[in-house]
Amino acid sequence: MVGNIDWQSIEAKYYIQTVNRIPITIVRGKESTVWDDKGRSYLDFVGGWATATLGHSHQTMIDAIIEQSKLLIQVSNAFYTIPQLELAQLLIDNSCMDRVFFCNSGAEAVEGAIKVARRYGTLNKNGASEIITALNSFHGRTLGTVAATGQPDYQESFKPLLPGFVHVDYNNFEQIKEATTDKTVAILLEPVQGEGGVNVPDQEYFRNIRAWCDDNDLLLIFDEVQTGVGRLGKLFGYQVFDVEPDVMTLAKGLGGGVPIGAFLVKEKANSLTFGDHGSTFGGNPLTTAAARSVVEFVIKENLSETVRLSGLRLKNKLLEIAKDESYNITEIRGEGLLIAIQFRAEIGLEVMQECLNRGLLINRVRPDAVRLMPPLIVSDEDIDKGIEIISEAIQTVTKK
């Protein structure tokens, strides 16, 4: 029945038009595959926007959600609940962090981290409140996180912006030194810039910043909303760079598709106290039970290591293709299962379209680049199938 309804016209009429959607109505998913309302299947290398940690409708998550929904879905955070505390323990015992607060999205997690930093400045640094962030970054769409995000396109229509953010070039340590003043309290960065085009900084970048933060009593905040929970081939992105942040945010991969976010702090940055923060739904039994099942699976199955190997397979095959000049590829970049293909020309949209025609979903992350972020459980067979489609798609576009 669903196949006979024109959902796209309904969207055009009823929904606030902020997203330029791809014309497919997805009704179902399993592992790395989704199906539309006409019954057509697609290999999903968008992965629910890097949220489908265990792929679509994994049995582990289904069981966790069903069991928890029978017990308890929501109570007030004025009470203790078990899934929330089990997830908290799991994250703290397996990271360099000491405490966690659960919220409902990535933007909310970054908002929390900003409050942690400002309160730290109030307590310890004479009211210093400025946060240095990077150009081309992405931290969310709320007013606070839009101000943090270093992309003017997202800011222009919503001024006045929340003050207190200073933007510098990513992967440029000198600019961070120059931007630091008495007013600076923290440095907020993505370990790998996701929405900005999958930009991987040099190894020494974060080492230098860590030392700078220690010398100047600044908090280092890693926005791991996209890189956390296995995506880069380690449980957390900071482990790829061997540098520990003072504050970390999580969201996308944490719930395996269920909306949840978190900010985590080291004891040093544990600045919030009673009355400083709260959330009605944050850490709710249903979402934390789902996230607990995801994180438990990732840790028990050592999925991060699988991601590292799958990522290498994907990257090496793409590098092989890129050797052929006719593909117009100038760079393959990324870590783990967060990979971008950089083209010589602005053909990202066309390549995405040709992939779509052949049953593969990918993301056009920049006009001249596409991004791949398949589920972390993606099979070698599906990686190879994806590569085959991508290579055909690029050939078709470049031959035009």
Site of interaction with ligand PLP (CB under 6 A): 105-107, 110, 138-140, 190, 194-195, 223, 225-226, 251-252
CA atoms 309, 311, 314, 317: torsion sign:
negative
Residue (134 or 352) nearer to ligand PLP, CB: 134
Output the smallest distance, CB 148 to ligand PLP, in A.
9
Q: What is the widest separation between alpha-carbon atoms in the chain? A: 64
Asked whether 248 and 264 are in contact (CB, 8 A), the reply is yes
Closer Cβ to ligand PLP, 35 or 154, answer by number: 154
Q: How far is the CB of 297 from ligand PLP (least distance, A)?
A: 21
Cα dihedral sign, 101-106-110-112 = negative
- Whole-number Å distance between alpha carbons of 148 and 66: 38
Shortest Cβ 59–ligand PLP spacing (Å): 25
CB of 136 to ligand PLP, least distance (A): 12
Minimum CB–partner distance for residue 224 and ligand PLP (Å): 7
Residue showing the smallest CB distance to ligand PLP in the complex: 106
196 vs 285 by CB, closer to ligand PLP: 196
Closer residue to ligand PLP in complex, CB, 252/317: 252
Q: Do 45 and 310 contact (CB within 8 A), yes or no?
A: no
- Structure token pair of residue 349: 């949209």
Rounded to a whole number of angstroms, the minimum distance from the CB of residue 359 to ligand PLP is 26
| Residue 253 Cβ vs ligand PLP, minimum distance, rounded to whole Å | 10
- Using the minimum distance from each CB to ligand PLP, give the nearer residue, 44 or 223: 223
Structure tokens at 374: 């398949």
Q: Which is nearer to ligand PLP, 120 or 222 (CB)?
A: 222
Q: Which residues contact 67 (CB under 8 A, 6 or more apart)?
A: 289
Residues 6+ apart with CB under 8 A from 123: 271
For the CA atoms of 299, 304, 309, 313, the dihedral, rounded to the nearest 10 degrees, stands at 130
Nearest in space to 229 (alpha carbons), one of 248, 209, 211, 250? 250
**Structure tokens that stand for 284 in this block:** 């709710």
Q: Please spell the DSSP secondary structure of 29-88, one letter per residue.
A: EEBTEEEETTS-EEEESSHHHHT-TT-BS-HHHHHHHHHHHHH-S---TTS--HHHHHHH
Rounded least distance, CB 142 to ligand PLP, Å: 7
Shortest distance in whole angstroms from residue 394 CB to ligand PLP: 25
Tell me the three state secondary structure of residue 161: coil
Task: Provide the sign of the torsion angle of the four alpha carbons 208, 210, 211, 217, taken in this order.
Answer: positive
Is the Cβ of residue 167 or residue 252 nearer to ligand PLP in the bound state? 252
The token pair at 125 is 């640094």
Write out the two tokens for 36.
């539309």
Our CB check for ligand PLP shows the closer of 255 and 398 to be: 255
CB of 250 to ligand PLP, least distance (A): 10
Which tokens sit at 296?
């438990």
- Determine how β-strand 360-361 pairs with β-strand 99-103: unpaired
| Nearer to ligand PLP among residue 95 and residue 105 (C-beta) | 105
